[in-house]
Amino acid sequence: MRFCFPTTFYPPYSFGGDGIAVQRLARALVRRGHSVTVVHDVDAFLALHTGPEPEARHEADGVEVIPLKSAAGILSPLLTQQTGRPTLHRARLREILDGGKFDVVNFHNASLMGGPGAFSFGVGAVKVFTAHDHWLVCPSHDLWRHSREVCTGRQCFRCQIRHHRPPQLWRDSDFLEKQLEQIDVCIAMSEFSRSKHREFGLQRDMVVLPQFLPILPGDTTTSETTRPHERPYFLFVGRLERIKGLHTVIPLFDRYPHADLVIAGDGSQRADLELLAGSSSSVRFLGRVGPEKLRELYAHAIATIVPSVGYETFGLVVIESLQRRTPVIARRLGPFPEIISACDGGELFENDSELLSAMTRIQSDVSHRNRLAENGYNGFVENWSEDAVIPRYLELVSRDRLPSGRARLKG
């Protein structure tokens, strides 16, 4: 099959999870003999990026990559953000998507590379939208109201101002719902995310299809000779932003002398979090680490702590940990309960006391930890591995599987 992935961000012009997830899916499809073309918006990335522009690299894995870049700089994504439509890249995007060469057009993060207006393009293809975040129902994407709390009711105008984003007036019309009529399959990454979309007014049905990781080749056991940290440790992985909840965990290690907290990641809150940790020798900040180092950190951790205080759409850190046979201790919030319930590969907590109790149990009871680790790994293979998810994805986008009347004729 011939796929096209329009998306705002794609490595190296990306900031994290959604771009990497698109790349992972593209590469997995190419390995199975399909062809994939990714179209991404360089203008949008540069408008939000600080520092030098990354060097574009050739995709040796067989994925065709088409960057969209104009001389207008920030004006291009700003016009799209304000109108909900492709603007300066409209002609080029239409030329690519309406060329008739794709069987499937899967829109990913479309917020700044065309908005819902881009859903009209891709005539003749099966059209898919994958919700990597809550952009369909939240102008700020993450249901993180006023940059300080989960959203329990709309205050969108004030919240957008608080997020330093100009309000999107097109959201007050039926434009989004009408454009979604162009989409054949709408994908949520968890049952929780699907329910939040429904709760916040999305009328369109969604199908749940999670993120995935490949099954690593070879032995996934650990070696004591390669330990990345001298003392037993719990691991945190993620952006250092308040929504990720690390500020709720760091103070607990003053009361937990049996292990350290190792933190892999960076973000705007790093200085504040380092100040919170003070001179504690039990909290270590590593900054950004590469994939190989990260897998090593997972493999040797007692458990991975996932304390997010916001509404995640999925839990990639959770399955990264399970992939390395490391249990997870996650906040009882968002998609984490459904993931842990599906595999029994960790524990859930709501408060400091429950988190400390889970840490103590998993560290002190080796048989309990080993059981969680094995359950988690088996659950990963069955539910969130590439071999489990890609066949489901291909079935979803198959023209023959679409409801009657949804599939458009080719040619």
Q: Cα 140 from chain centroid?
A: 15
What is the rounded CA–CA span in Å between residue 236 and residue 311? 18
> What radius of gyration, in Å, describes the C-alpha atoms of the chain?
22
> Smallest Cα–Cα separation from 229: which of 190, 282, 187?
282
Nearest to 115 by CA among 127, 129, 104: 129
Give dist(CA 48, CA 165) in Å, integer. Answer: 12
Which tokens belong to 125? 């293809």
pLDDT at 16 (0 to 100): 73
pLDDT in tens, 175-204: 999 999 999 999 999 999 999 999 999 999
pLDDT beneath 50, residues of the chain: 219, 404-405, 407-411
Packed helices 336-343 and 191-199: angle between N→C axes, nearest 10 degrees = 150
CB contact set of 34 (below 8 Å; sequence gap of 6+): 1, 2, 3
Q: Which two tokens stand for residue 355?
A: 């988190």
34 and 1 Cβ atoms separated by less than 8 Å = yes
Q: What is the pLDDT of residues 287-299, one digit of tens each?
A: 999 989 999 999 9
How do strand 185-188 and strand 304-306 relate by DSSP bridges? unpaired
3-class DSSP assignment, residue 41: strand
- Please report the pLDDT score of residue 409 as a whole number: 40
| Confidence at residue 402, expressed as pLDDT on a 0 to 100 scale | 64
**Residue 170 CA from chain centroid, whole number:** 26
pLDDT at position 56, please? 73
pLDDT value, residue 216 = 82
109 contacts 8 by C-beta, under 8 angstroms: yes
- Measured in whole angstroms, the distance separating CA 308 from the mean position of its chain's CA atoms is 13
Residue at token pair 């997830």: 21
Question: Quick one: pLDDT at residue 411?
Answer: 34
DSSP character string of 49-93? --SSPPPP---TTS-EEEEE--TTTTHHHHHHHHHSS--TTHHHH
Check if the beta carbon of residue 375 is closer than 8 Å to that of residue 343.
yes
Q: What is the pLDDT of residue 401?
A: 61
Rounded to whole angstroms, the Cα distance separating 230 from 95 reads 56
Q: How far apart, in Å, are the Cα atoms of 402 and each of 88, 106, 209, 397?
A: 33, 15, 16, 8
Helices (H), 250-380: 270-277, 291-300, 316-323, 336-343, 352-364, 366-379
